[in-house]
Every structure is written in structure tokens, then in C-alpha cells.
Structure 1
Amino acid sequence: MTDLTDKVAIVTGASRGIGRAIALLLALQGAKVVCVARSAEELEDVAQKTAGLAVPADVADETDAQNVIDEAIRRFGRIDILVCNAGVGSFNLLEHFTVADWDQMFAVNVKGTFLLCKAALPHLKAQHSGHIVGIASDVSKRTFQHGAAYGASKYAQDAVLSTLRKEVRSFGIKVSTIYPGLVDTYFNDSRPGSPNAEKTHLKPADIAQAVRYVLEAPTHVVIDELMIHPLTQEY
């Protein structure tokens, strides 16, 4: 198994939910964590708990995304892991979506992944090593009512990561994508901990363990795609 001790890991959307769980677990495994999110106050809390670096940023902003990578390099001199987890979603009939809703989901879910990967790649290629992990969704592989905008953004994010996997493999860089089902978080204005979610949703820690699993795979093992969903989830 690959040792994560002293690996430099950037985690976006790290202030709460899945991103926070990933940041905390990677720190527990010995990684040096760069925590990224828009909320500076919540971000500082998780950075303190991980003994990591807090970089407030909007991943959909090109300058902010580049600054995340630059700060990681300035602080630690390298990047070993990039977890593109930041994501937003809203759900409605297609005819009721606003252009602003559509643009926001594509900006964060797709453009954010693109910008962080683009900024990190020169460093990863120079090292001939590194691992990019995208947190997509099981709706990257299916469709459902009220999910046109979110699903389209996740299909697009999946395409970005799948294509990138083919482009960087010869440089010794891995790209893995995780497709969670329903997760008990603040996503889509939800509140975690409801009795219903206890029975039907994954926990953020479940997704963090999936990330750990793909990161700790031996060097010669490539895990491109990992689907994870609760056994009670209905399709």
C-alpha cells in the first residue's frame, strides 16, 4: 500500500461535508493538507484540526485556482494529491431553471475541476508523479427528473477527468473518479443527521475512505472509477 505520510494533498470544498471528512482523514494518515473553500471561517477551523494550510478560494475563478496551487508550492514545494471535491447543486424542472443556476453549477463543478487540474499539471508532470481524484456523482452515469443541470455538469466533469486520465498516464500521474450516491451533508441546502438520511444516505466518512482506498493503491494499480452508494438507495 502507498504511504501517505508527508504527501502534500490539496482538498477543495474542505470546509464541511465530504471535503472536510477527506481533509481530516488524509491528515490522520500523515498527509500535509491544503484546505480550500470559499468560507474562510469554517476553512480555518478544519485547517487547524488538520494542522494544514487554509487557502480561501473560489475554485471557479482562474486567479483563485492558480493561487491555490502557488500557495501549496510556496509552502511545501510540491503537490502529490489533488482532490477536486467542491461542488454545488440545485434541482428543478428544466423549464424552471434560471441561467444563473445553470452557470453556477457548471462554473463550480466543471470549470473548477478544469482550472485546478490545469494549474497543477505543470508541477505534477515535472515530478512525473501525482494523483488527481475527482468527486463526481452517481448521476454522472444516469439521469433523473429535476436533475438536468446538475446531471449535465457531473457528466461533463466526468468527461474532463476521464480524458485527462488518458492524457497524463504516460507522465506517471493517476486520475481517479469517485461516484457517490446520496450523502448525508449540507448539499442542496440539506441538514445532515435527519432520521431518513440515517437509513438511506452515505456518510461523508464513507467517501473519505473511498478516497483513501484509491490513493493507497500500489503504484502499479490504477483505479480509474469507483462507484459507492448505500444499499438502500433506489434508482
Structure 2
Amino acid sequence: MTDLTDKVAIVTGASRGIGRAIALLLAMQGAKIVCVARSADELTEVALKTAGLAVPADVSDEADAQHVINEALRQFGRVDILVCNAGVGSFNLLEHFSAAEWDQMFAVNVKGTFLLCKAILPHLKAQHGGHIIGIASDVARRTFQHGAAYGASKYAQDAVLSTLRKEVRSFGVKVSTIYPGLVDTYFNDSKPGSPDAEKTHLKPADIAQAVRYVLEAPAHVVVDELMIHPLTQEW
């Protein structure tokens, strides 16, 4: 495993599921973790396990996003890794979606990624290095029934990250995107651990290992995209 000692990593959506698994794994590798989520109680528990900093925040709020970066810099003096993992989703026929549901998915999945990247970029550019990793979805590359709003938000998030990759490469900043398939988490009000999910879903730890893989790439190598499929668990 890569030694991340003295590296500072911000992980959003860190209170449970994929974000929690990422925070715990990066902490095991020596990183100092800034845990971000809306749920303060669960976030505190993860921060204690990682010996990190808990920053309750709504990533879709510009002031909150800037607060996350400010707190990380105040506490640790630098940021090396930003994992944009916070996400929400609901699924229905297009005609049954409300405007509020549509807006919420775009606010968290797209605007949240945009705001955090925008807030951290001056710091990463100034230090001539850093790594932004977006946790998107395999539905950023395909469509399916009942997935118009969630899929559209993930297509948009993917566009933000792939464009940013081109804009910051000359500053020594990497941008990578991971596209998980189905993951056994609390996402969309699911309860992890069902027998069916055991057979068909990835585990949060699988996605954390994908983040580790991306971070282990040599300095001169950029892993632009990493697709992880259920069942085979092949990258």
C-alpha cells in the first residue's frame, strides 16, 4: 500500500457507506482525514476511528464548501487529496419526478463536486500538486429506466471532472473519476447486507480499494477513469 503519512485527505459523504470505507482505508495508510457529511453524530464516530477532523457540512452550499476547505487548512496547513463522494439518488419514471427531487440530485451530485473543487483549486495550484477523485457511477456512461434524474446528474458530474482534468494537469494536479456499479450501502434508503446484495453488489471496501489504486499510480501517470463492475468485481 502507498504510504500516505502526512498527507491530508478530505472525504465527503464520510459518515457511512463508501465514504466511510474510503476514510478508514486512507487513515490506515497514514493520511490525516477530514470527514465531511451532513450527519454530525455518525460523522463524529468516523472521525474518532480515523483520528481525523469532523466537519459537518452541506456540500451543495457554497459557504459550507468553503468552510470545509478553510477548516482543513486551519487544522493541518495543507490538503493533498479531495474525494468527492457525497451523493444522493432517487428513481422513478420521468413524469413522476418532482422538480425538487431533480434539483436535490443536481445540487449534491454536481454542484457539490463543483463547489468543493472550486474552493480547493487555489490551494492545490499554489502547492503544485494534489489529487481530486470523484466517485461517479457507471450510469454516467449508460441510461436505464427510472434513472433519468440520477443518471443526468452523474453524466454532468463526469463532465465537470473530465473538463477539470484538462484544466489543471499543467499545475501538477491530478483528477480521476471512479465509476462504481451497484454497491451494498444505505444509498436510496437501502439496507446493506441483504442476501441478494451479497450476490450482486460491490462492497464499500471495493470502492475504497479503487481509490487506493488510483492514489498509488506513479506521479507521471494519470488514471483518468476506473470502472468497477459488480459480480466480477473487475477493474
User: How does the TM-score come out when normalised to structure 1?
Assistant: 0.98
Aligned-partner SS, 1:35: strand
The 5 A counterparts of 1:211-230 are: 211-230=211-230
Residue equivalent to 1:33 = 33
> What is the one-letter code of the residue matched to 2:196?
N
How far apart, in 1, do the equivalents of 2:6 and 2:205 lie?
21
Verify: 1:15 aligned to 2:19, yes or no: no
Following superposition, which runs of at least 4 residues in structure 1 exceed 6 angstroms of deviation?
Answer: none
Q: Which amino acid aligns with 2:47?
A: A
* Contact in 2 for aligned 1:184/1:204 (Cα 8 Å): yes
Q: For the Cα contact (< 8 Å) 1:4–1:216, is it kept in 2?
A: no
| Structure 2 residue aligned with 1:147 | 147
Aligned to 2:91: 91
Report the Cα offset of residue 2 of structure 1: 5.0
Identity %: 89
Computed over aligned residues only, the root mean square deviation of the Cα atoms, in angstroms, reads 1.0
Q: Residue in 1 aligned with 2:121?
A: 121
Q: Secondary structure at the match of 1:192?
A: coil
> Does structure 2 retain, via aligned residues, the 8 Å contact 1:2–1:219?
no
Equivalents in 2 of 1:81, 1:230: separation in Å?
26
Quick one: which amino acid aligns to residue 15 of structure 1? S
Corresponding residue for residue 109 of structure 2: 109
Aligned length: 233
Looking at structure 2, the residues matched to 161 and 80 of structure 1 have their Cα atoms a distance apart, in angstroms, of: 17
Q: Which runs of 5+ in 1 are unaligned?
A: none
Report the TM-score, using the length of structure 2 for normalisation: 0.98
1:160 alignment counterpart: 160
Partner AA of 1:184 in structure 2:
D
Offset at residue 231 of structure 1 (A):
2.7
Cα pair 1:141 1:155 within 8 Å, conserved: yes
Contact persistence 2:35–2:43 (CA under 8 A): yes
